[in-house]
Amino acid sequence: MAKAEIILPAAGKGSAGDTILATKIHVPRARSAVVARYRLLQRLNEGLERGFTLISAPAGFGKTTLVASWLRDQGLGVDVAWMSLDKQDNDPIRFWHYVAAALGGWRVDVAEEALAMLHLPEPPPTETILTALINALSASEGNVVLVLDDYHVIEAQPIHEALSFLLDHLPAQLHVVMTTRSDPPLALARLRARRQMAELRANDLRFTLDESAAFLNQLMGLKLSSHDVGALEERTEGWIAGLQLAALSMQGLPEVAPFVAAFTGSHRHVVDYLVEEVLARLSDRLQSFLLETSILDRLAGPLCDAVTDQHDGQAMLEALERANLFIVPLDEERQWYRYHHLFRDVVNHRLRQSQRDRVVELHSRAAAWYAQEGWVEEASRHALAAGQPSWAAQIVEQHAPGIMDRGEVASLRQWLQALPPSLIRSRPQLSLAQALVLLYHGQLDGVEALLQDAERMAAGARELTATTGEEYHGSASSWLGDIDNAVVVMRGTLARLQGDHRRALELSRQALQSLSEDSSYWRANVVWNIALSTYSSGDFDAATRAFSEILADNWNTGNSYRIFYAAYGLGRVQVAQGRLHQAAKTCRQAIQLANQTDKPLPVAGTVYLAMGELLYEWNDLEGARRYLMQGLELAKRVGDFGPLLHGYMALSHVRQAQDDVAGALELLEEARRITPIQEAVDYLILPSVARLHLAQGNLPSALQWAQVAGLELGELRQDRMYAYVMLARVLLARKSWHEARDLLIRLAPRAEAAGRVHALIKILVLTALVLETIGEAEAAQTTFKRALCLAEPGGYIRTFVEGGQPIVALLRRAHNAGDAIEYTAMLLAACGQPPGDATSSAQPILHLAQPLLEPLSEREMEVLELIAKGAQNQAIARQLFVALDTVKKHVSRILDKLGVNNRTEAVTRARELGIIR
Amino acid sequence: MRTHDWIRYEIKVQGSLDSQWSEWFDGLSMISTESGETTLSGPVADQAALHGLLNKVRDLNLPLLAVYRVDPT
């Protein structure tokens, strides 16, 4: 599969992923009435001056309530990004995704880059992602508090390390608050010593006698004597959960004295004792509701109904909330709740004690509800808890094909993480799915083993069916028949990713033969493999066919994802072949498609980038800049650094051409940051930096690159062409003419044999320059003529213009010799030189018919048509029944969108583009 | 490692918990004293299991008093 088949995990609105995210970053609403704890609030406020606040105390000390009420209700004027953590967040990608999302909820742009990086198939090192986040925060205005609630559930060492990194580089705008039951394994002693940490611990959080009195008598409406308050406070040691449970037990009791006496006289564990008391006082209905729903991590009315087999779920939840029964709302709409962890643990324990045999049944009901709603991860978890691993597996298997069609590999990965590895390996479809996930993330190591397992199991199942006539698994998925073919396809992908293109093609073609008609997903993968492998191995004809096939197949199904990617691929092939106009046409068509929606898919950015590169070559620097910037904006969110890399390089060329060398360097730095593959850095980015150095006249730095790069010139590799050409430029600059010539003379035939006209043109131009310099004028002229001949059909401009004065001389000579007269005249004009021959009438090609970045609205079209008929603004206003001002605004927008300065130009341009007749 | 290879630990906590909680704590036996302390004891599979048990103790807010490893004799 193309490494880039991914859309952001929380794709569809209202998807399970979206809902979970919303509940995790929701700032808990503190209960309407809490005991005012000024002394603690004051310490928290003071702690804001330090970077990090740690609140470390066992369960039931009111940590979350304290932080929530402090941040929400104190009018501090700080913004809050909240993260409720749970065990599943031990996956670093998931953890930082949620953190970034929480911060993104504060300011969208702060998290954009980090989120984009997290969604790459091979995310860069966490430090890189965090640096992006830190930088974005440093550049923001305002302050935000990031709350990590329940950090004790995090055990993954990489997360601890990354968090340490974050705390070490905390920007002033960010303050981190952590609540936890155990001290986190961070360098706390160091933070304390440097006074970079504020701390609240159990002793601080205990209710004092006064606070206990306030809580019990004022808040809970009991009328306890100070003696009783004292006794309870002593028994519970100010433990808030204990006091709360005690209060609940006492509500409605005619006489509290017996209760207090019994409670304080017992050694029984407070929670155990009190939960029993509380439960005993509840109605039967409420009691059984609590017990049954204690199996759930999150509660919603319909879910509770399914589990309890009743219809009053929503009412129950709201009643529990009103009664202060340890239930916490997870959103504003009162759709989702959860129980306080401690309370839930104890109630759950009680359930296991009293109704052990029902537990499985309850989990089954939960699993069924979740499965029906499409919450795959939760469904499979409950199925596992119900002791039914096959069911859990089936749920995942059922939903896997759909999600892969949408390219949401991240979701598939999460689903598989919830299943025990032994379960995955015992089922062919899951093994296949796991292999897919690994392949996608470039973790090639375990893939072959999984594929072999899947193969073996499928073969075994067929045998079984053959002998017993029984259907294997009776699974709803249609994959089974195609497991063998799927394995071949994936082996092909594996080969491609390992760089063995020959084998990749072999396997892909084999798969194509035997795949059934309706295996659209695997077919699409095969064609992808063929397209990318043929492109990488330089078989441009086959690549063109493959990409064209993908375009044709998908154009009507509207799988725009594949369309854009194929258009990008086809465009690149066409460019490599020097067929610039065809490439532009390919991009144009795709861009028109993108313009049909308000929010183009991120992947559409790739064709904008390709268009930008073309415009640069055609010397339309402004146009190039606009397309490249828009393309980068979009493509950042795609899971493939390849197009981005080329985009950054192209934009850096544009900046260089506009004399912004610093800006150009910045872009290359950025490119380097997002590129996880060292080869790409070595053979594309670093040479680009050297190019900048040369342009600045900084020969020493360029030489240094050449030396450090240590390019092996023994066997010249196709995928290093750019670096070789750059080396030749450096040699040229160093005046090592003969070395340069020797290298170029070897490169040319290589490029030619591979059909790489684009590269060949540049090589020939450079060769001509060298030959000219060493006095071989005739050879120079012949070579240059060849270059012109190859370049003219595509209309290459920049390649020549970049060469400066030496090129001008060559152009003049060629022009005067009658070689490509019009073309050379145009090139000379582009270089700012008049042609030597006054009779030439060639005009520089400044405008090419480019598609609009932003299409005209219907209204704007109406106005434009009237303008074309010669109407003045007043007349237009009258005809369209709008105000004059409105017309002026429309006109101004039209001029903007068309990139022109007046009405006449607008009409000309619009006709050029075919927008009006 | 089979069960009889597991190592016996004793975990002492503050507060009385009756034997009904035994299942919660991986089947360890639970003995409470008059003074309000409980000792959980029994075989534990490995260090990870031990830390899991200690987490459960933590999560129930039972003050941890002592952890002993019992030498097999």
Q: Amino acid identity, residue A427?
A: R
Which residues on A lie below 8 Å from B36 (Cβ)? Answer: 267
B15–A268 CB contact, under 8 Å: yes
A447: nearest Cα among A432, A458, A459: A432
For A36, counting Cβ atoms within 10 Å of its Cβ (0-12 exposed, 13-18 middle, 19+ buried), the class is exposed
Least CA distance to A180: which residue of chain B? B59
According to the model, what pLDDT value does residue A786 have?
94
B61–A59 CB contact, under 8 Å: yes
Work out the minimum CA distance from A61 to partner chain B, whole angstroms.
10
Give the pLDDT band of residue A842 (cuts 50, 70, 90): very low
> 3-class secondary structure for A604-643?
HHHHHHHHHHHHHHCCCHHHHHHHHHHHHHHHCCCCCHHH
pTM: 0.68
8 A C-beta contact, residue A564 and residue A606:
yes
Lowest mean pLDDT among A12-16, A321-325, A646-650: A12-16
A269–B17 CB contact, under 8 Å: yes
According to the model, what pLDDT value does residue B4 have?
67
Answer yes or no: is pLDDT of A11 > 50: no
- Per the prediction, chain A carries an average pLDDT of 85
* A325 DSSP assignment: -
Query: Within the 43-82 window of chain A, which residues sit less than 8 Å (CB to CB) from chain B?
Result: 58-60
What is the ipTM for the molecules in this complex? 0.84
8 A C-beta contact, residue B6 and residue B43:
yes
pLDDT digits (tens, 9 = 90+) for A424-471: 999 888 999 999 888 877 788 899 999 999 999 888 877 777 776 655
State the pairing for strand pair A336-339/A299-300.
antiparallel
Task: List strands edge to edge, sheet with B37-44.
Answer: B29-32, B37-44, B7-14, B64-70
Kindly report the number of other CB atoms within 10 A of residue A872's CB atom: 11
Give the pLDDT band of residue A4 (cuts 50, 70, 90): very low
Alpha carbon distance A751, A748 (integer Å): 5
Residue A154 vs residues A3, A18, A88, A298, A539: alpha-carbon distances, Å: 30, 22, 9, 19, 50
State the pairing for strand pair B64-70/B7-14.
antiparallel
A268–B17 CB contact, under 8 Å: yes
Least CA distance to B33: which residue of chain A? A267
Share of chain A above pLDDT 70, in %: 92
Give the pLDDT band of residue A894 (cuts 50, 70, 90): confident
pLDDT digits (tens, 9 = 90+) for A630-643: 999 888 766 577 78
Work out the minimum CA distance from B7 to partner chain A, whole angstroms.
24
Which residues on B lie below 8 Å from A181 (Cβ)? Answer: 58-59
Best B55, B58, B59, B64 member to test A by mutation, with max A CBs in 10 Å, is B59
Work out the minimum CA distance from A401 to partner chain B, whole angstroms.
37
Long-range contacts of A88-92 (CB under 8 A, 24+ apart): A88/A414, A88/A417, A88/A418, A89/A153, A89/A154, A90/A153, A90/A154, A90/A155, A90/A156, A90/A159, A91/A156, A91/A414, A91/A417, A92/A126, A92/A156, A92/A158, A92/A159, A92/A162
| Interchain CB contact of A181 with B (< 8 Å) | yes
pLDDT digits (tens, 9 = 90+) for B13-49: 988 888 888 888 888 999 988 888 999 999 998 888 9
According to the model, what pLDDT value does residue A846 have?
37
According to the model, what pLDDT value does residue A77 have?
73
- Scanning the structure block, which residue is given the tokens 């600059």? A733
In DSSP terms, which residues pair with B32 in a beta bridge? B38
Give the pLDDT band of residue A559 (cuts 50, 70, 90): low
Over range A838-852, report the average pLDDT.
40
B58–A241 CB contact, under 8 Å: no
Give the pLDDT band of residue A389 (cuts 50, 70, 90): very high
According to the model, what pLDDT value does residue A364 have?
96
A523: nearest Cα among A495, A570, A482, A572: A482
Query: In angstroms, how far is CA A325 from the centroid of its own chain?
Result: 39
Give the pLDDT band of residue A341 (cuts 50, 70, 90): confident
Alpha carbon distance A479, A476 (integer Å): 9
| Interchain CB contact of B15 with A (< 8 Å) | yes
pLDDT digits (tens, 9 = 90+) for A242-285: 898 888 888 878 888 888 998 888 878 888 888 888 888 888 99
Over range A342-355, report the average pLDDT.
88
Give the pLDDT band of residue A24 (cuts 50, 70, 90): confident
According to the model, what pLDDT value does residue A407 have?
63
pLDDT digits (tens, 9 = 90+) for A99-141: 998 998 888 888 887 887 787 666 778 888 898 899 889 988 8
A269–B35 CB contact, under 8 Å: no
Cβ-Cβ pairs closer than 8 A, A with B, add up to 50
8 A C-beta contact, residue A242 and residue A234:
no
Give the pLDDT band of residue A901 (cuts 50, 70, 90): confident
Which residues on B lie below 8 Å from A86 (Cβ)? Answer: none
Answer yes or no: is pLDDT of A671 > 50: yes
A345–B60 CB contact, under 8 Å: yes
pLDDT digits (tens, 9 = 90+) for A26-85: 888 766 567 778 889 889 998 888 989 999 998 889 899 899 888 876 667 778 999 999
Work out the minimum CA distance from A265 to partner chain B, whole angstroms.
11
In DSSP terms, which residues pair with A135 in a beta bridge? none
Token reading at A207: 């209710």
A272–B18 CB contact, under 8 Å: yes
Higher pLDDT among residues A652 and A717, named by residue: A652
According to the model, what pLDDT value does residue A841 have?
35
According to the model, what pLDDT value does residue A8 have?
28
Higher pLDDT among residues A837 and A490, named by residue: A490
According to the model, what pLDDT value does residue A356 have?
86
